[in-house]
Amino acid sequence: MQTKSFQHNFTIHGTDESKPILLMVHGFGTSQNVWHFLREDLLTNFRLAMYAHAGATEQSNLAYTPDRYKTLYGFAEDLVALCDENNLHNIPVLGHSMGGMSAVLASLMRPDLFTHLLLLAPSPCFQNDHEHNYLGGFSENDLKSLFATIEQDYYAWVAGFAPIAMGNTNRPELGTYFANTLKSVRPDIALQVARVIFSIDYRKEIERITIPTLIMQTQSDIAVPLHVAEYMQSHIPRSVLKIVETDGHLPHVSAPRQVAQYIREFLQ
């Protein structure tokens, strides 16, 4: 019988057991392979544990069912199970976008798992809430249009979305990289997961975070406005906001050295 670790391609990089483990949780449209941009800088200080979300790769498709992953709690439960299966407790966790929010939920479900939250371009809610002066970045009509476009022609949507989400127009190879990782996701799974991500509202949950939290955000991000990062910093008691000097939604790809530096400084 295949284990969760096998289905999710769980791996630990680095063999020096005197170094602490940093657990890494990727975001939508990528897999654990995205962390190779940070590996060289972080392996000097940490062993790096990483895995693929259900539905992110051909192998992890074995673990994906729409009913289990109808909210981010399904992904958070996987994270808890993988930590227990691999005896990972009392460690820092780094998560990008939906991976960051999955780590947040896991930390609230199991306070013994994580010592620190390191969040890259996270958002507890993508939809605008003008009644409460919250600018998540998307109106209800924006999201309906987004889902319709993904459903109509996923690969055409990827071609348009990937370079905008990546930013850094002077480095088009980065947009191509993200487009290629998005294309590796099965279109029906991509649509289902996108519906889940963009419908979340975990603003109440983030107020319950008690462990030290680092929020890393760019000034310009099509998916997560800077307002969201500032909102999170103001609502998470022990949090710090650091601006990464790049643009786009994947600063660990476009500015990995600065991201690695922020991580090392925060965990010292």
Give tens-digit pLDDT for 213-260: 999 999 999 999 999 999 999 999 999 999 999 999 999 999 999 999
Give tens-digit pLDDT for 72-83: 999 999 999 999
Confidence of residue 4 (pLDDT cuts 50, 70, 90): low
Confidence of residue 62 (pLDDT cuts 50, 70, 90): confident
* 3-class SS string, the chain: CCCHHHHCCCEEECCCCCCCEEEEECCCCCCHHHHHHHHHHHCCCCEEEEECCCCCCCCHHHHCCCCCCCCHHHHHHHHHHHHHHCCCCCEEEEEECHHHHHHHHHHHHCCCCEEEEEEECCCCECECEHHHCECCCECHHHHHHHHHHHHHCHHHHHHHHHHHHHCCCCCHHHHHHHHHHHHCCCHHHHHHHHHHHHCCECHHHHCCCCCCEEEEEECCCCCCCHHHHHHHHHHCCCEEEEEECCCCCCHHHHCHHHHHHHHHHHHC
Q: What is the pLDDT, as a whole number, of residue 7?
A: 82
pTM of the model: 0.95
Confidence of residue 6 (pLDDT cuts 50, 70, 90): confident
pLDDT over threshold 90, residue 55: yes
Task: Sketch out the chain's domains with CATH numbers.
Answer: 4-267 (3.40.50.1820)
pLDDT over threshold 50, residue 2: no
Give tens-digit pLDDT for 164-186: 999 999 999 999 999 999 999 99
Percentage of the chain with pLDDT > 70?
Answer: 99
**CB atoms < 10 A from the CB of 68, how many?**
14
**What's the mean pLDDT when you consider all of the chain?**
96
Distances, alpha carbon 90 to alpha carbons 21, 45, 204, 250, in Å: 10, 17, 24, 27
Give tens-digit pLDDT for 130-150: 999 999 999 999 999 999 999
Q: What is the pLDDT, as a whole number, of residue 145?
A: 96
Residue with tokens 């309906």: 144
Q: What is the pLDDT, as a whole number, of residue 143?
A: 96
CB 229 within 8 A of CB 217: yes
Q: Which residues are catalytic?
A: 97, 221, 249
Q: What is the pLDDT, as a whole number, of residue 3?
A: 53
Q: What is the pLDDT, as a whole number, of residue 5?
A: 79
Q: What is the pLDDT, as a whole number, of residue 163?
A: 97
- Mean pLDDT, rounded, for 182-194: 97
